Amino acid sequence: MTHHTALNYSLVPEALDRIRESGCDLTTRLPFEFLVLNASRSGEARLAQWKKVGWGNCLWTVPAERMKGRRQHRVPLSPQAMAALAEAMELGMESNGLIFPSFNKGKPLSDMTFTALLRRMDIQAVPHGFRSSFKDWSGDTMGENYEIATELALARTVGNAARKPYTRSELLGPRRALMDAWGEFLSNHHR
Rounded CA separation 34/42 (Å): 10
Q: pTM for the whole thing? A: 0.88
The three-class DSSP label of residue 125 is: coil
CA 31, chain centre distance (Å): 9
Beta strands in 80-159 (DSSP E): none
Query: For 151-190, what is each residue's pLDDT tens digit?
Result: 887 775 554 443 443 355 678 888 999 999 999 999 986 4
Residue 158: predicted pLDDT: 54
Q: Cα–Cα distance between 78 and 179 in angstroms, integer?
A: 6
Which segments within 70-171 are labelled E, that is strand?
Answer: 73-76
3-class DSSP state of 162:
coil
Rounded CA-CA distance 54/77 in Å is: 9
Contacts of 99-108 spanning 24+ positions with Cβ under 8 A? 99/31, 99/34, 99/48, 99/49, 99/50, 99/53, 100/27, 100/30, 100/31, 100/34, 100/45, 100/46, 100/48, 101/27, 102/27, 103/27, 108/46, 108/47
Mind listing the domains of the chain with CATH numbers? Answer: 9-188 (1.10.443.10)
Name the DSSP letter for residue 9.
Answer: G
List pLDDT tens digits, range 103-119: 776 689 999 999 999 99
Q: What are phi and psi of 51, to 5 degrees?
A: -65, -10
50-73 average pLDDT score? 87
